[in-house]
Structures are given as C-alpha cells and as structure tokens.
A = this chain, B = another copy of it.
Amino acid sequence: MKLGLIGLGKMGYNLALNMKDKGHEVVANDVNEEAVARISKEGIATALSVKDLVEQLPSPKVIWLMVPAGEITEQVLENVSGYLTEGDIIIDGGNSNYKDTLRRGKMLKEKGIYYVDCGTSGGVEGARHGVCIMIGGEKQAFDHVEQLFKDISVENGYLYTGNPGSGHFLKMVHNGIEYGMMQAIAEGYEILDKSEFDYDYKEVSRVFNNGSVVRSWLTELLENAFSKDPKLDAIRGVMNSSGEGKWTVETALELQASAPVIAMSLFMRFRSQENDTFHGKVVAALRNEFGGHAVVKSE
C-alpha cells in the first residue's frame, strides 16, 4: 500500500522503516528537515510539504500521523485535512486523548474523511520490528488498511476495538496499567535496597525473568538497565510522565472507578519532580505546634 507518514520522531522514523520492510510504499514528511534527509537515504520517498505529500498519494489517500499529541496533532490535522476529500483516511498513531479523538472524528466525518485512532505500543524497538496496535474507527476504513496493520505488528499484535475513540482509549488504559506495573516493580526493588541483604539487582531481574509469576517485558528491560548500571547510580529518581497516566486517572474519576494503584503511581511521579513539598512543610509546622517536635530549617 502506498501511504503518507507525517512525523519522523523516534516512533515515526522506525515505523516508516518497518512499513518499507513489509513492502509498503511510504512517502514521509516532517518539519525537521534533517530527519527527512536521513530517511531519504534509507530509500524512503519524502515530501517537501504536507501538500506535496498528499499530492503524491493515490485515492483514497491514506495518511499516518505520528506526531506529539495535543496542539501539534491538532495543527497537523487541520493542515492535512485541508488537502483531503471524501473517502480519504487519516490514521492517528499517536497518544491522542480519546476525547480529542471523538471530537476530531466527528469533524472529519462531516467532510467524509475517515479518522482512525490507533494506539501504538511496544516502544521504539516495537516500532521498528513489530508493534502492538489497538485500532478504533469506522469499520470500512479499518478494513481498507487492515493489511498494513497486520504487516507492521507482531503476530497477533493488532486488534480492531470498534467505535471511534476505542483504540486511543484502550491505549490510554494500557499506559495506566503500565504506570502501576512499573511502580509495583520499583517499590519491590526499593524494599530490597533498604533491606539487610545484599542483592545483585541484575541477577534478581534475571531470575524474575525466568519462570517467576512477575515475568514481563518490563522486568526484562530492567535486567538490561541493571546490566548497564548495577545500582542505577548514574541517574536520579525523577519520574516524568507524558499524560496518559493522568488521563487514565481522570477517566477513572469520571467513571467513578476505584483506581488507587494507578493514581498512586502517578502521584509518586509528581512527588519525584519536587525537591521539597508544601504539604510537608504544613505537616512539619503542625507537629512543631502541638508537640514541640523539631523542624528541619531551610538552607
């Protein structure tokens, strides 16, 4: 299939190569000209602009967006949809909030353009050699591009989830689960680290990866990490987040679902981004007031 791909970041770049390997004809574009030049050397056709990209495609045109969620997806979508007509298909492979997806889908539907929401998991390596994808949107649009999804994913690694928004929603929840799993694993290692025993974390991860109940891709990745830095001395425990965990908790609140573990995983990330907290000051001040307990002075 000939298709356009807009966005050559870590994920998009590797997806393009993955598609090419499977025999698809990709026309790539990015605002970063260096990335465009680089992928051109890989034998992938490129476009100078979104307009140019669209013009190179046969109808119905299929365009895969792999750009940051939020503002940038919004702008690119507005731009690209201006050049499309009835029956064309936009696949949003990024981590868009499913509410944005629902809104955009309705807007594009008025123009007869299909908007397929595709949650993409598996990390950078997955993008290159086989992703896991969860696809929502109109069935006929999915049918038209199913072979592409099948080709770029690992075996049994794609799922049509139904109504528009359901793909991005599922990917959001997947990431929420991921937050919880990571924090659970991390708390375990923290307990090991504070214990009276002297564990070799690389070896611990190795044994976890072979036959244990917690064996998982995450524990495999951790074995890699510990093999490079046995005590993780080189890094600080600052846990950033890119939005999907927060959306999962917001969604839990809306649906009145109890999600204590996912929520706590997120709050510990927020906490890790601060050197000191105002809530801590309040508690320390209170303890001093009622019990005369000593406080730690600011430096």
Of the A-B pairs whose beta carbons lie under 8 Å apart in the complex, a sample of 26, sorted by A's number, is: A125-B290, A130-B211, A132-B207, A133-B207, A157-B212, A169-B197, A170-B197, A173-B191, A177-B184, A177-B187, A180-B180, A182-B282, A186-B283, A187-B259, A187-B262, A187-B279, A190-B279, A191-B251, A194-B255, A195-B255, A216-B217, A221-B290, A225-B288, A237-B277, A263-B264, A271-B271
Question: Residue A238 at the B interface, CB < 8 A?
Answer: yes
- Report how far A237 CA is from B242 CA in the complex, Å: 27
Interface residues of A (CB under 8 A from B): 10, 121-126, 130-134, 136, 153-159, 161-163, 165-166, 169-170, 173-195, 197-199, 203-204, 206-218, 221-222, 224-226, 229, 232-240, 242, 246, 248-253, 255-273, 275-299
Query: Of B175, B190, B289, which one neighbours A259 at CB under 8 angstroms?
Result: B190
Query: Of B192, B213, B286, which one neighbours A222 at CB under 8 angstroms?
Result: B286
Query: Of B158, B179, B280, B289, which one neighbours A224 at CB under 8 angstroms?
Result: B289
Kindly report how many copies of this chain are found in the complex they form together.
4
Are A193 and B132 CB-contacts (below 8 A) given A174-B214, A210-B157? Answer: no
- Report how far A153 CA is from B126 CA in the complex, Å: 30
Q: Least Cβ distance of A241 to chain B in Å?
A: 9
Query: Of B178, B222, B298, which one neighbours A282 at CB under 8 angstroms?
Result: B222
A277–B262 CB distance below 8 A:
no
Are A185 and B191 CB-contacts (below 8 A) given A132-B210, A259-B267? Answer: no
